[in-house]
């Protein structure tokens, strides 16, 4: 039996630990409609920074008083252009605008061929060259539809330069360029292979510095010590206390829930220039001599002596309500 | 003998939100909350250190939009109104919790905080910037600048004139406020695009900060990783990169300090918890529940939140400060074996993390600084300027495109929800350059219109709008601000071009978007 009890105890401990882990690492939870910064299980660069920055900009959930809504922005600005921007080492973003006169001109020039043509983005790898339209290392095409005006392009190539033509691919394979973009360069996604002769740095030492720089902590004594401490601290956090709280448990994930709190309002009136004391503390009177107080009320009996003293201090009146609260 | 350095950096910024056309404007609360919970507590921290003559070093960026808001008369009046309302609520709370001692003493704590914040605000003649300026003049705080409106520069590379305007307007604004040139800059969101160091050099800035991978992925490889600054090839502007290990300890809500169960819970505010009729006068006038700043619970580690205990939290903050220092000492000792020069650990944080998000943050910072200055001899606090004068010889490389935002590049500001803004922003940039070049010496109404056009463009460029759209919740204000500034810019552009400036309307938007009164529109080229 003793063994069984011990095993049971251990299992409870383990399940509690898992519970704790779930709470700490849980998916994005909502408490009364407020977003809790989600903690990524896999570490994503900048995730915490984003979560914290978000808390600076809370906004009301419900519709706020009507504010003048600005009119819409124009769809375009009457220019033929395509602009490339880098999103990350792999992806670039293109947005473009081609005006109707340009399409009309192409229709006139290409006649029937125009209608058989496909709209494409031709993505050129122009790393380390001055691009003249013909000397790209390679290119690939992305077919786009008539209505799209922007596109995320998976270049598959960190550390390279890119240029994009928006144009028409004719059935016979000819490509008619409409607009050419700027050139952008995607960053490399790891350490550079270029090592300066004079500043040569041994591979293993760099690896250790690199690891530390990313807070991996594996190779450094710091990480381990810290991990141990955190573990100790989390485990030693205390259990549930029985203190009354103005709002009790608010299950976040259960559908059905109930919160009931009780507060007591004590109000009355006397001469506006009198002094009123509730439980021995002076209260603020309104101009008409009325007063209102509000108390969160715990279980049990509350004796609330109310005393009014006239302005000349000669007259004194007392009333003492007694209130008992019980929760079943 | 010190073996290395620690460079603590706080980045403070809020977007320009000021709506004189409304009596109450919800988003203005971002500023008021940050004032009560972050900026004023940080002033206490700095005052307390100075009063005890602690020889600390701290680097702090104050964004030009934040400085402008903190110095604005209307917002100062409104802050006073805001804090007075909170004090009134504080009094009621002390009364309401009379029979619940665990909450009553917290209500008293908040009431005291609010009263003290108001006293400090009035003592500083309503302008918190004056306090920071004084600490800078004492030589212990280094204040650096930021993008004029916190525009994310990598997505302005297509029109560098705008990146230049962001920097130059910021630098001249800094000079007018602090009476000296800024030594360095916090690039908005740590967004660095190769080549932008040229603009920094032009503006006389000596250094900037980046995230780790800007330097770790630089070419050629950095000899000392992020533990020594590098000079940008071609310009010699110094680049300090953050150390992620020390960052994580403070940023992360799991591995980091702020998630400790003893600390105050951010998400349980009486604005949401208490009876509607009772709290109604202290939430938004249209009756929408909002945060009041009074929060009674600690993180606890479960949904059944327990009352906050400030004494335990204080002890924990001291313990965490000791832990942070201990880890930095070990880190420096470890690095010393590798490096032929003294390593520097750069630890930058959002200032609003301290106090607003992590309630005990300012306390932690004070404990940390006190401990480092008096309890050990391994690390020394330093500012980038001091470091560079002591260690002028550094490696020359080209840092990589990077940011400290989500996934480390531009995706936070360039994704499905916000990529539509760039065609408008870039067109406006091109048009602004055209205007600046067409009117090299404008006067009178034309000059006012040109100045306003640049203000509108800069305001539209705040990275905050794209950021909020990117988070996907409550995006309407961010969308509205973007559209509004672009539309105002476009109308100004058209009126200037057709020589038909509507002066009444100009007056109206000058009154609404009144930032940077002395702006020089010619910097946008």
Q: Omega into B303 within 30° of 0, i.e. cis?
A: no
- A46 touching B, CB under 8 A? yes
What does the pLDDT read at residue B288? 85
Residues 6+ apart with CB under 8 A from B139: none
Decide if A161 is inside a domain: yes
pLDDT surpassing 90 at residue A193: no
Chain B residues in contact with A187 (beta carbon < 8 A): 217, 400-402, 409
Triad B361, B365, B371: Cα angle to 5°: 140
State which residue of chain B sits closest to A202, comparing Cα positions: B223
Percent of chain B past pLDDT 90, that is, above it, reads 89
Triad A39, A45, A47: Cα angle to 5°: 30
CA–CA distances in Å: residue A265 to residues A128, A293, B85, B104 = 78, 6, 21, 17
Residue contact B245–A215, C-beta within 8 A:
yes
CB B404 within 8 A of CB A49: yes
Could you list the active site residues of B?
189, 350
Within this chain, do residues A312 and A290 fall inside the same structural domain, yes or no?
Answer: yes
- CA atoms of B214 and B226, how far apart (whole Å): 9
Instruction: Determine the structural domain holding residue A287 and report its residue range.
Output: 197-250+257-325
- CA atoms of B188 and B435, how far apart (whole Å): 26
- CA atoms of B449 and B488, how far apart (whole Å): 11
Q: State the count of interchain CB pairs (< 8 A) between A and B.
A: 310
pLDDT in tens, A246-258: 333 344 455 788 8
pLDDT band of residue A26 (cuts 50, 70, 90) is very low
Within this chain, do residues A116 and A152 fall inside the same structural domain, yes or no?
Answer: yes
CB B303 within 8 A of CB A252: yes
pLDDT surpassing 60 at residue B32: yes
Decide if A217 is inside a domain: yes
Lowest mean pLDDT: which of A17-26, A39-48, B436-445? A17-26
pLDDT: which is higher, A141 or A70: A141
What does the pLDDT read at residue B240? 97
Lowest mean pLDDT: which of A265-279, B6-20, B431-445? A265-279
Residue contact B220–A194, C-beta within 8 A:
yes
Decide if A24 is inside a domain: no
What does the pLDDT read at residue A181? 97
What does the pLDDT read at residue A243? 32
Decide if A33 is inside a domain: no
CB B349 within 8 A of CB B6: no
User: Taken in order A31, A32, A37, A39, is the CA torsion positive or negative?
Assistant: positive
Within this chain, do residues A121 and A149 fall inside the same structural domain, yes or no?
Answer: yes
What does the pLDDT read at residue A258? 87
pLDDT surpassing 60 at residue A28: no
Question: Three-state SS string across B220-247, please?
Answer: CCCCCCCCCCEEECCCCCEEEECCHHHH
pLDDT average, residue stretch A51-78: 73
Within this chain, do residues A229 and A180 fall inside the same structural domain, yes or no?
Answer: no
- CA atoms of B438 and B497, how far apart (whole Å): 10
pLDDT average, residue stretch B138-166: 97
Q: Residue B216: which of A52, A213, A245 has the nearest Cβ?
A: A213
Please, how many CA atoms are within 13 Å of residue A195, restricted to the half-sphere of its CB? 12
CB A32 within 8 A of CB A250: yes
- CA atoms of A231 and A239, how far apart (whole Å): 16
Within this chain, do residues A165 and A277 fall inside the same structural domain, yes or no?
Answer: no
Chain A residues in contact with B248 (beta carbon < 8 A): 48, 215
Residue contact A187–B288, C-beta within 8 A:
no
CB neighbour class for A229 (10 Å; exposed up to 12, middle 13-18, buried from 19): middle
What does the pLDDT read at residue B138? 92
Q: Residue A52: which of B331, B353, B424 has the nearest Cβ?
A: B353
CA–CA distances in Å: residue A303 to residues A222, A281, A325, B105, B405 = 58, 14, 12, 21, 57
State which residue of chain B sits closest to A214, comparing Cα positions: B244
- CA atoms of B424 and A73, how far apart (whole Å): 8
pLDDT: which is higher, A58 or B460: B460
Within this chain, do residues A201 and A316 fall inside the same structural domain, yes or no?
Answer: yes
Structurally, chain A folds into a number of domains equal to 2
pLDDT in tens, A143-172: 999 889 999 999 988 999 999 999 999 999
Within this chain, do residues A179 and A94 fall inside the same structural domain, yes or no?
Answer: yes
- CA atoms of B171 and B192, how far apart (whole Å): 18
Q: Residue A47: which of B260, B296, B406 has the nearest Cβ?
A: B406
Within this chain, do residues A175 and A231 fall inside the same structural domain, yes or no?
Answer: no
Q: Indicate the DSSP class of residue A188.
A: P
Percent of chain B past pLDDT 70, that is, above it, reads 100
Chain B residues in contact with A52 (beta carbon < 8 A): 251, 350, 352-353, 357
pLDDT surpassing 70 at residue B159: yes
What does the pLDDT read at residue A39? 40
Within this chain, do residues A122 and A235 fall inside the same structural domain, yes or no?
Answer: no
Residue contact A64–B244, C-beta within 8 A:
no
Residues 211-250 of B with CB under 8 A from A: 211-213, 216-221, 223-227, 241, 243-249
- A321 touching B, CB under 8 A? no
What does the pLDDT read at residue A253? 56
pLDDT in tens, B328-387: 999 999 999 888 899 999 999 999 999 999 999 999 999 999 999 999 999 999 999 999
pLDDT average, residue stretch A56-85: 78
Q: Residue B272: which of A32, A77, A208 has the nearest Cβ?
A: A32
pLDDT in tens, B274-296: 999 899 999 888 888 889 999 99
Within this chain, do residues A136 and A214 fall inside the same structural domain, yes or no?
Answer: no
Chain A residues in contact with B352 (beta carbon < 8 A): 52-53, 55-56
- A20 touching B, CB under 8 A? yes
Decide if A172 is inside a domain: yes
CB A307 within 8 A of CB A276: yes
Q: What average pLDDT is seen over chain B? A: 95
Pick among B88, B249, B327, B413 to test the A interface (most A CBs inside 10 A): B327
- Dump strand ranges (E) for B192-253: 207-210, 230-232, 238-241
- A71 touching B, CB under 8 A? yes
pLDDT surpassing 50 at residue A34: no
CB B400 within 8 A of CB A188: yes
Q: What average pLDDT is seen over chain A? A: 76
Residue contact B249–A226, C-beta within 8 A:
yes
State which residue of chain A sits closest to B352, comparing Cα positions: A56
What does the pLDDT read at residue B492? 98
CB B232 within 8 A of CB B398: yes
Decide if A159 is inside a domain: yes
Chain B residues in contact with A32 (beta carbon < 8 A): 272
pLDDT average, residue stretch B119-131: 97
CATH of the domain at A164: 2.60.40.10
Residue contact B291–A195, C-beta within 8 A:
no
pLDDT surpassing 70 at residue A88: yes
pLDDT in tens, B393-416: 889 999 999 999 999 999 999 999
Please state, as a whole number, how many other Cβ atoms lie within 10 Å of the Cβ of residue A143.
Answer: 9
Within this chain, do residues A172 and A272 fall inside the same structural domain, yes or no?
Answer: no
- CA atoms of B455 and B436, how far apart (whole Å): 13
Final residue before a domain boundary, out of A132, A161, A185: A185
- CA atoms of B113 and B106, how far apart (whole Å): 10
What does the pLDDT read at residue A206? 58
- CA atoms of B85 and B281, how far apart (whole Å): 9
CATH of the domain at A300: 2.60.40
Residue contact A64–B247, C-beta within 8 A:
no
Residues 6+ apart with CB under 8 A from A310: A271, A273, A274, A316
Triad B506, B169, A53: Cα angle to 5°: 95
Residue contact B273–A247, C-beta within 8 A:
yes
Decide if A118 is inside a domain: yes
Pick among B189, B194, B255 to test the A interface (most A CBs inside 10 A): B255
Final residue before a domain boundary, out of A185, A213, A237: A185
Residue contact B266–A55, C-beta within 8 A:
yes
- CA atoms of A263 and B91, how far apart (whole Å): 16
pLDDT surpassing 60 at residue A204: no
Taking the CA of residue A173 and the nearest CA in chain B, the distance in Å comes to: 31
Chain B residues in contact with A54 (beta carbon < 8 A): 471
What does the pLDDT read at residue B82? 96
Within this chain, do residues A207 and A302 fall inside the same structural domain, yes or no?
Answer: yes
pLDDT in tens, B290-319: 899 999 999 998 888 999 999 999 999 999
- CA atoms of A82 and A98, how far apart (whole Å): 8
| Structure token digits, residue B50 | 């100075």
- B134 touching A, CB under 8 A? no
Alpha-carbon torsion, ordered B224, B227, B232, B238, to 10 deg: -150
User: Taken in order B271, B277, B282, B285, is the CA torsion positive or negative?
Assistant: positive
Residues 63-82 of B with CB under 8 A from A: none
pLDDT band of residue A211 (cuts 50, 70, 90) is low
Lowest mean pLDDT: which of A48-62, B85-99, B111-125, B130-144? A48-62
pLDDT average, residue stretch A123-134: 94
Residues 190-249 of A with CB under 8 A from B: 190-192, 194-196, 199, 201, 205-206, 208-210, 212-215, 217, 220-223, 225-226, 229-230, 233-234, 237, 240-241, 243-249
Decide if A315 is inside a domain: yes
Final residue before a domain boundary, out of A164, A185, A206: A185
């Amino acid at each position: 039996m003793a063994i069984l009890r011990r095993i049971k105890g251990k299992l409870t401990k383990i399940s509690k630990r898992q519970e704790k882990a779930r709470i700490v690492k849980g998916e994005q939870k909502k408490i009364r409609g407020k977003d809790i910064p989600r903690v990524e299980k896999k570490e994503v660069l900048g995730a915490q920074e984003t979560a914290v920055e978000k808390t600076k900009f809370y906004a009301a959930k419900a519709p706020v008083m009507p504010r003048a809504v600005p009119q819409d922005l124009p769809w375009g600005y009457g220019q033929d252009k395509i602009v490339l921007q880098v999103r990350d080492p792999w992806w670039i973003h293109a947005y473009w605008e081609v005006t109707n006169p340009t399409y009309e001109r192409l229709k006139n020039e290409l006649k029937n061929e125009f209608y058989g043509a496909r709209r494409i983005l031709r993505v050129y790898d122009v790393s380390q060259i001055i691009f003249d339209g013909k000397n790209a290392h390679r290119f690939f095409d992305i077919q786009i539809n008539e209505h799209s005006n922007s596109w995320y392009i998976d270049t598959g190539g960190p550390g390279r330069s890119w240029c994009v033509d928006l144009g028409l691919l004719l059935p016979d394979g000819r490509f008619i360029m409409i607009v050419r973009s700027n050139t952008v360069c995607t960053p490399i996604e790891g350490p550079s292979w270029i090592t300066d002769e004079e500043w040569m740095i041994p591979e293993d030492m760099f690896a250790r510095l690199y690891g530390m720089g990313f807070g991996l902590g594996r190779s450094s004594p710091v990480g381990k010590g810290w991990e141990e401490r955190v573990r100790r601290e989390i485990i030693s956090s205390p259990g549930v206390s029985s203190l009354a709280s103005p709002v009790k448990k608010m299950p976040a994930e259960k559908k059905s829930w109930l919160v009931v709190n009780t507060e007591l309002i004590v109000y009355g009136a006397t001469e506006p220039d009198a002094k009123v004391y509730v439980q021995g503390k002076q209260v603020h009177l309104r101009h008409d001599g009325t007063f209102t107080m509000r108390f969160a009320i715990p279980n049990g009996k509350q004796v609330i002596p109310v005393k009014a003293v006239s302005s000349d201090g000669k007259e004194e009146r007392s009333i003492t309500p007694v209130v008992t609260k019980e929760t079943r | 003998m010190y073996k290395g350095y620690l460079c603590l950096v706080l980045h403070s910024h809020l977007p320009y939100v000021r709506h004189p056309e409304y009596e109450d404007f919800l988003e203005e609360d971002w500023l008021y909350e940050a004032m009560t919970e972050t900026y004023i507590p940080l002033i206490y921290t700095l005052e307390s250190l100075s009063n005890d003559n602690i020889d600390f070093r701290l680097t702090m960026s104050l964004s030009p939009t934040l400085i402008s808001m903190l110095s604005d008369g209307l917002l100062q009046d409104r802050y006073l109104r805001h804090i007075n309302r909170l004090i009134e609520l504080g009094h009621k709370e002390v009364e309401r919790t009379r029979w619940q001692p665990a909450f009553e003493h917290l209500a008293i704590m908040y009431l005291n905080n609010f009263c003290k914040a108001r006293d400090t605000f009035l003592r500083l003649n309503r302008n918190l910037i004056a306090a920071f300026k004084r600490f800078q003049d004492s030589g212990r705080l280094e204040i650096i600048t930021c993008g004029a409106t916190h525009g994310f520069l990598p997505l302005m590379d297509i029109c560098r004139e705008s990146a230049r305007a962001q920097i130059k307007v910021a630098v001249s604004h800094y000079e007018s406020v602090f009476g000296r040139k800024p030594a360095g800059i916090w690039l908005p969101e740590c967004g660095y695009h190769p080549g932008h160091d040229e603009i920094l050099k032009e503006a006389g800035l000596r250094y900037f900060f980046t995230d780790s991978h800007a330097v770790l992925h630089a070419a050629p490889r950095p000899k000392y990783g992020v533990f020594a600054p590098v000079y940008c090839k071609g310009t010699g502007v110094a680049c300090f990169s953050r150390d992620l290990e020390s960052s994580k300890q403070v940023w992360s809500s799991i591995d980091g300090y702020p998630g400790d169960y003893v600390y105050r819970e951010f998400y349980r505010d009486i604005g949401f918890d208490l009876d509607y009729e009772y709290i109604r006068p202290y939430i938004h006038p249209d009756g929408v529940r909002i945060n009041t700043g009074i929060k009674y619970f600690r993180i606890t580690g479960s949904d059944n939140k327990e009352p906050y205990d400030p004494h335990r939290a204080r002890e924990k903050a001291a313990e965490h400060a000791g832990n942070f220092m201990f880890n930095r000492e070990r880190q420096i000792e470890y690095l010393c074996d590798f490096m032929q020069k003294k390593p520097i650990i750069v630890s930058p944080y959002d200032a609003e993390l301290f106090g607003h998000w992590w309630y005990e943050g300012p306390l932690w910072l004070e404990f940390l600084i006190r401990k480092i200055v008096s309890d050990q001899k391994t690390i020394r606090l330093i500012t980038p300027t001091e470091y560079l004068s002591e260690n002028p010889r550094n490696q020359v490389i080209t840092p990589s495109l990077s940011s400290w935002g989500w996934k480390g590049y531009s995706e936070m500001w360039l994704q499905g929800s916000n990529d539509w803004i760039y065609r408008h922003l870039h067109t406006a940039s091109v048009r602004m350059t055209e205007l600046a070049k067409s009117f090299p010496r404008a006067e009178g109404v034309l000059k006012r219109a040109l100045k306003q056009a640049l203000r509108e463009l800069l305001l539209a460029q705040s990275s905050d709008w794209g950021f909020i759209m990117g988070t996907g919740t409550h995006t309407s204000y961010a969308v509205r601000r973007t559209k509004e500034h672009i539309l105002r810019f476009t109308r100004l552009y058209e009126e200037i071009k057709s020589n038909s400036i509507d002066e009444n309307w100009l007056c109206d938007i000058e009154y609404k978007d009144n930032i940077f009164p002395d702006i020089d529109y010619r910097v946008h080229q």
